Structure 1
Amino acid sequence: MHRWTDLGQIPPGFGPSVVTIGNFDGVHRGHQSVLGRMVADARRVGAQSVAVTFDPHPSTLHQPGRAPELITGVSDRLELMAETGLDAVLVQNYTWEFAKQSPEEFVHRFLVDGLRAVTVVVGQDVRFGWENAGDLSTMLALGERYGFSVEVIEDLSPPGPSSERRRWSSTWIRELLAAGEVREAADILGRPHRMRGVVVRGDARGRELGFPTANLSSDSAGMVPADGVYAGWLTRVSRASTPGESAAASSGESAADEAADEAATRLPAAISIGTNPTFDGLTRRVEAYVIDRTDLDLYDDEVLLEFVERLRPTLRFDSVDELITTMNADVAAAREILSVRSP
């Protein structure tokens, strides 16, 4: 998948294309529906499939201090979008200069001249242009003027036990994550919620208790769910190199190959979020104990955490022994949920 950050990076003569626009935060099932339909439309007519998205989120400019916490970081968003089969994504830097374009200026400059769109795929609630003045009716009118068709995708969730249907949305997912309901959020996302970040050094208290944890840096990407303990997965995305490892890699030694294999392994984990009230902690942390592994050195590595199910809320314990007993119970519960055998 091609990734562009500016119109000038689009190759001359690119297109024709089938295009969609949106923030795509979380790349949930509603987004997947739009992107999947767009890819299918493009292949049917021999065109390129392109999504136009934005970084930072527009709310950071228009509503500073009230912008929503992003469900996914840019890297994960693009990775998930690529899985839908897209040919290209334009990640437009969202600035005041960009925001002040009229709906027609945006369509003419980006969709018509830049991407040579023959079809624009949108949801019912599409908004674009200065002060979100453009809506579905605007897009339909501009399509007639500039010669592209507009396809509207319904992104309601499938019928459940009741007749009420709620639209798949990033807002709904944020509500669920804020309540710790990660399994329910996964139903809308189509996969477990994930965070990505670099492992940093903590106070090593987990190791002292027999449960060494990987602590994510405070600038990790992805929305932090509610405080509590979760069953989930840890994957080492990239490994911090050391002089010894670099030499081994250059000489093709087996240790480097083994490290590469392990880096791609999805490991079962019990994930804790909170301030560690038993020890009067003040800093909110996200830390993961890889079940049955005390030999891992993950410091400075980039890891991906996936949240499968909440086991319990964060609690204050009266003694370290009570804490350890509960942590053992947490690990046992995580094993069952993740279908991991005891050693």
Structure 2
Amino acid sequence: MQRWRSLDEMPADWGRCVLTIGVFDGVHRGHAQLISRAVKAAAVRGVSSVLMTFDPHPLEVVRAGAHPAQLSTLDRRAELAEELGIDVFVVMPFTADFMKLTPEEYVEELLVDRLHVAEVVVGDNFTFGKQAAGTVDTMRALGVRLGFEVDAVQLLGEHAVTFSSTYIRGCLGDGNVAAAAEALGRPHRLEGVVVHGDGRGKGLGFPTANVAPTMHAAVPADGVYAGWFTVLGDDALAGQRFMAAISVGTNPTFDGRNRTVEPHLLDFDADLYGKHVGVDFVEQLRGMRKFDSIDELVEAIQHDVDETRKVLRAETGE
């Protein structure tokens, strides 16, 4: 898969393509449906499939400081798009000037003159252009005039719930990581770097990796979770995943004030400081609470570890 940081990286001999457009935060099951439609349409036409996303998030430009919690990094989005068969992953810088493009300018200058679209695949609620004035009907009318087709896909959902990034953020905010995973098609992953903590977990017999999340990352509600810990990048441990009991919160038993993400890796203990990692949340075990004694806390952590093994073994069929 090719990755472009802007359309300036397009090759001079670029032909036509099938394009799908959106933020694609999380690349959830609804997004996967759009991407798969674009990949299949491109194969039928014998052209490239292109996914176009934006950076920063459009809301950050429309209303400074309004960046929603991020379900996935750009690198993670690209990785997931590649798994779904996309040929080209392009990141469009979302600027104040870009935001001012009218729907007609958006389509003519970007989609037709630059990308040479043969077909555009979008969700049926897609809007675009200045003040989001363009709709699917607008896109279809422009397609008739400018020579491309539009496939508007009804958003996927189950049990009267439409899968969306907003819905998934709500699930995470409630600590319902299992529902988030159902909508995503996989557990929610939080990425970050392992930093030094206060070392309290090690003193209790349960050492933790203190993970500093990437900027704007969607952190689940305070509580304890069963999940997986994976080292990312080109590290010698890259790709290996370890069972983890994950604490999210302020450590109220010790009157903590700073909110932290601290996975305790089961059956693994090594120097992880500075490593780029992914923390996948599978199931919430309990809420965060303040214990009356250290002994009571240690007993609860041991129970969390036992439950983590049970949950993850069931997930993997062991």
Task: Give the Cα–Cα distance (whole angstroms) in 2 for the partners of residues 264 and 66 of structure 1.
Answer: 34
| Maintained 8 Å contact 1:274/1:314 | yes
User: Could you say which residue in structure 1 is the equivalent of 2:211?
Assistant: 216
User: Could you say which residue in structure 2 is the equivalent of 1:34?
Assistant: 34
User: Could you say which residue in structure 2 is the equivalent of 1:252?
Assistant: none
Instruction: Name the aligned partner's letter for residue 128 of structure 1.
Output: F
| Maintained 8 Å contact 1:197/1:221 | no
User: Could you say which residue in structure 2 is the equivalent of 1:253?
Assistant: none
Task: Give the Cα–Cα distance (whole angstroms) in 1 for the partners of residues 133 and 234 of structure 2.
Answer: 46
* Residue correspondence of structure 1 range 154-233 to structure 2 within 5 A: 154-158=154-158, 160=159, 165-219=160-214, 222-233=217-228
Which of the residues 268, 274, 278 maps onto 2:243?
A: 268
| Partner secondary structure for residue 162 of structure 2 | coil
Which of the residues 307, 321, 324 maps onto 2:295?
A: 321
Task: Give the Cα–Cα distance (whole angstroms) in 2 for the partners of residues 140 and 317 of structure 1.
Answer: 60
- Give unpaired runs (5+ residues) of structure 1: 241-259
Task: Give the Cα–Cα distance (whole angstroms) in 2 for the partners of residues 302 and 23 of structure 1.
Answer: 24
Which of the residues 300, 322, 335 maps onto 2:309?
A: 335
Query: 1:89 offset after TM fit, Å?
Result: 1.4
Instruction: Name the aligned partner's letter for residue 249 of structure 2.
Output: G
Query: 1:76 offset after TM fit, Å?
Result: 1.2
Query: 1:156 offset after TM fit, Å?
Result: 2.8
Query: 1:220 offset after TM fit, Å?
Result: 5.4
Instruction: Name the aligned partner's letter for residue 267 of structure 1.
Output: F
User: Could you say which residue in structure 2 is the equivalent of 1:90?
Assistant: 90
Query: 1:218 offset after TM fit, Å?
Result: 4.6
Query: 1:103 offset after TM fit, Å?
Result: 0.9
Task: Give the Cα–Cα distance (whole angstroms) in 1 for the partners of residues 38 and 128 of structure 2.
Answer: 19
| Maintained 8 Å contact 2:231/2:239 | yes
Task: Give the Cα–Cα distance (whole angstroms) in 2 for the partners of residues 17 and 51 of structure 1.
Answer: 10
User: Could you say which residue in structure 2 is the equivalent of 1:7?
Assistant: 7
| Partner secondary structure for residue 52 of structure 1 | strand
| Partner secondary structure for residue 202 of structure 1 | coil
Which stretch of structure 1 is more off in the superposition, 55-64 or 174-183? Answer: 55-64
- Give unpaired runs (5+ residues) of structure 2: none
Deviations 1:145-191 (A, max 9, x none): 11001111112314x4xxxx232111110110000000011110000
Which of the residues 259, 269, 274 maps onto 1:284?
A: 259
| Partner secondary structure for residue 50 of structure 1 | strand
CA gap 1:221/1:195 in 2 versus in 1, 3 angstroms: farther
TM-score between both structures, scaled by the size of structure 1: 0.89
| Partner secondary structure for residue 161 of structure 2 | coil
* Residue correspondence of structure 1 range 109-128 to structure 2 within 5 A: 109-128=109-128
CA gap 1:204/1:265 in 2 versus in 1, 3 angstroms: same
Instruction: Name the aligned partner's letter for residue 255 of structure 2.
Output: D
Task: Give the Cα–Cα distance (whole angstroms) in 2 for the partners of residues 324 and 15 of structure 1.
Answer: 62
| Maintained 8 Å contact 1:239/1:300 | no
Task: Give the Cα–Cα distance (whole angstroms) in 1 for the partners of residues 197 and 3 of structure 2.
Answer: 36
CA gap 1:206/1:220 in 2 versus in 1, 3 angstroms: farther
Instruction: Name the aligned partner's letter for residue 271 of structure 2.
Output: D
Q: Does 1:306 align with 2:280?
A: yes
Task: Give the Cα–Cα distance (whole angstroms) in 1 for the partners of residues 22 and 266 of structure 2.
Answer: 38
| Maintained 8 Å contact 2:29/2:156 | no
Query: 1:72 offset after TM fit, Å?
Result: 1.2
RMSD: 1.5
| Maintained 8 Å contact 1:18/1:47 | yes
Deviations 1:41-93 (A, max 9, x none): 00111010001110111101112233321111222122112211100011011
| Partner secondary structure for residue 173 of structure 1 | helix
User: Could you say which residue in structure 2 is the equivalent of 1:247?
Assistant: none
Task: Give the Cα–Cα distance (whole angstroms) in 1 for the partners of residues 99 and 145 of structure 2.
Answer: 22
The structure with the largest alpha-carbon Rg is: 1
| Maintained 8 Å contact 1:111/1:117 | yes
State percent identity of aligned pairs: 47
User: Could you say which residue in structure 1 is the equivalent of 2:230?
Assistant: 235
User: Could you say which residue in structure 1 is the equivalent of 2:24?
Assistant: 24
Task: Give the Cα–Cα distance (whole angstroms) in 2 for the partners of residues 222 and 76 of structure 1.
Answer: 12
Task: Give the Cα–Cα distance (whole angstroms) in 2 for the partners of residues 30 and 219 of structure 1.
Answer: 24
| Partner secondary structure for residue 191 of structure 2 | strand
